[in-house]
Amino acid sequence: MSLGEFQLIDRFFRNCGAQRTDVAVGIGDDAALLDCPPDMQLVAAIDTMVLGNHFLAHFPAESIGHRALAVNLSDLAAMGAKPAWALLALTLTKADPVWLDGFARGFSALARKHDVALVGGDTTSGAFCISVQLSGHAPRPAKMLRSGGKPGDVVFVSGTPGDSTGGLAFELGKFTVNPPAGVTEDVAAYLRQRFHFPTPRVELGLRLRDYASACIDVSDGLLGDAGKLAQASGCGVSLAWEQLPASSQLVAVAGETRAREMVLTGGEDYELCFTVPPQNVERMMRELPDAMWGYTAIGVLGAAPGALVTRGGTVMDFSHSGFDHFAGACKA
């Protein structure tokens, strides 16, 4: 790309995201200067999205901008943190104004919703790759670390995991609309929306600080991520097949059994999997009604290591417990 193209790119990001009074110097100098609130910890994450792995070239630019920020918002949500400042490292083969406008709009809309300012970045010429770094704040002491779970803690998940993978399957033509079988345009639109514009559970993460012992964001598959939480806590985890929250739309298109498998192993859901000590459960369900906050009890932590799923009291066999990004799905 020419210098002119780099200047073009910069133009799209000058007023991207929220305006914040704690940004002393934002885009335009060698680095951003930011005012941290006293008595809070800084919470920092970085995530990358790559063409052919996390998205395909024909996906809407707004979706790519949304998701590039959402994955980081979800990381901060899992720490019970309030997001504040983003840096964007954007590597592009060419500067397409239409694409840049869409990307910036998708990114900016989600950033404003969560009061996130874009404070700096770097644009580079090369194979399509997007890294977003997000910082935010959380009160001391640290809570909801992956390592905070104890045997007996109840395991919950927000939302309906698997929907994102269902939406991707429509994008890739693996699922198709078929009204006689109950797969309507509405079902397809819902699942596509869940893939392209996932909802990071920032507000839920903030509220869970008062109840949860541990938390992880579900981006690589619920079973695998619950297993990571359990391992970090020195525990194992047992999930109950019957309690897995598959959406009616996912069930309509995939059937009951495949839908629950997708709940367990789908990727890029950006839901929260969290554990709550038994003595906190009733208070949480009273103060954060699950009907309003959309979470479901799905299992329990135990002393024995491992991550397993039971069905009618019997341990099920799963050969794949993790989701290796979208490599398989996108390249298929």
The residue ranges that bind a second copy (CB under 8 A) are 1-3, 6, 24-25, 28-36, 38, 41-54, 74-76, 78-79, 81, 85, 87-89, 91, 119-122, 124-129, 131, 133, 135, 138, 142, 145-147, 215-217, 232, 322, 324-325, 327
CA–CA gap between residue 91 and residue 195 (Å, rounded): 23
Structure tokens at 284: 């949480």
Q: 104 vs 253, which CB is nearer to a second copy?
A: 104
- Residue 23 C-beta: closest distance to a second copy, Å: 10
Q: Report the DSSP pairing between strands 236-240 and 306-311.
A: parallel
CB half-sphere exposure, 149, CA atoms < 13 A: 32
- The phi and psi torsions of 99 (rounded to 5 degrees) equal -65, -45
Q: Minimum distance between the CB of residue 115 and a second copy, rounded to whole angstroms?
A: 17
Task: State in angstroms the smallest separation of the CB of 306 from a second copy.
Answer: 16
Nearer to a second copy, 252 or 301 (CB): 301
Q: What is the largest CA-CA distance in the chain?
A: 64
Specify burial of residue 315 (Cβ count, 10 A radius: 0-12, 13-18, 19+). Answer: exposed
Q: Is the peptide bond before 141 cis (omega within 30 degrees of 0)?
A: yes
What tokens were used for 185? 């345009």
CB nearer to a second copy: pick between 192 and 201: 201
Q: Which is nearer to a second copy, 243 or 322 (CB)?
A: 322
CA–CA dist 302, 300 (Å, integer)? 6
Residue 1 or 8 with smaller CB distance to a second copy: 1
**Least spacing, CB of residue 188 vs a second copy, in Å:** 28
The nearest distance, CB 105 to a second copy, in angstroms, is 21
